[in-house]
Amino acid sequence: MAVQDLGRLDGKVAIVTGASRGIGQAIAVKFAEEGAHVIAAARNAADLADTVAQGDGRIVGQQCDVQHADAVKALVDRATNDFGALDVMVNNAGVALQDLLVDTTEADWDTTMNTNVKGTFWGVKFAIPAMKAGGSIINLGSITSFAGEQTSSAYVTSKGAVLMLTKNAAAETARLGIRVNIICPGPVDTPMARVYFEATTGSAERTEEITRMYAPLTGLIPTDDIARAALFLATEESRSMTGSSLLIDGGLLASWDHIES
């Protein structure tokens, strides 16, 4: 789809991590459609080809493993050196390893924490000094930022940590004109989510049935719905919001107690 100059992010510079597919890709493309220059990042630069192609010249790709500080700092340096600013930082890169706590290996725990928590930490840390004129930092949490599950102990713990990192960073940066907020999606229709759900349900058909029961408003949530929320947080429309959580779950947590029982 050709990018239209819709203007809500005209002249803005954004970084989106984990942008090769799913939520990150949807956000990067949405920002480009609204006039932003976007640096899209992923662990494998070759995986960004489709995202870049959808940007109509407004999206550039860069390899970045967010577990490593130097790689994240290089993203921010590219924004300021090549485009003169950083206005929006989206910390989306993440992993979701599914296992019971007693079966979780140290390696899996460390990978989850280093990607989901430390990777977000690096993004927030390096974005703050680059946002000299203020800006918006958007972190990606989960419904598991608020409630536990019967599996995925490492993932749930990491997303709870990202929620509190968001709140603390918001408290630190409000005086600088920087807003830090978190989007907490429910079951989103991404490749990673389908692997996660189908490992439990056993089939795509059963996944659709179960997610519609859990999230009665939507079932699996379109990635564009998350991208629209990110756009809202990236613009002046959310200028009075910081430390806030946007829960987009199709009604899942409204009936969580019933589901879990």
Say whether pTM exceeds 0.75.
yes
**Residue 75 CB-half CA count within 13 A:** 37
**In Å, how far from its chain's centre is CA 202?**
27
Query: Which of 155, 196, 197, 214 is the catalytic position?
Result: 155
Band the pLDDT of 58: cuts 50, 70, 90: very high
- Give which of 75, 160, 159, 168 is closest to 123, Cα–Cα: 75
Digit-coded pLDDT (tens) for 70-126 = 999 999 999 999 999 999 999 999 998 888 999 999 999 999 999 999 999 999 999
**214 has catalytic annotation:** no
Element (H, E) at 74: helix 69-83
Helices 153-173 and 119-130 meet at what angle, rounded to 10?
20
Q: State pLDDT tens for residues 161-201.
A: 999 999 999 999 999 999 999 999 998 998 877 887 788 78
What whole-number distance in Å separates Cα of residue 46 and Cα of residue 62?
9
Summarize pLDDT for 25-51 with one digit per residue, the tens: 999 999 999 999 999 999 999 999 999
Report the C-alpha gap between 88 and 35 in whole angstroms: 13
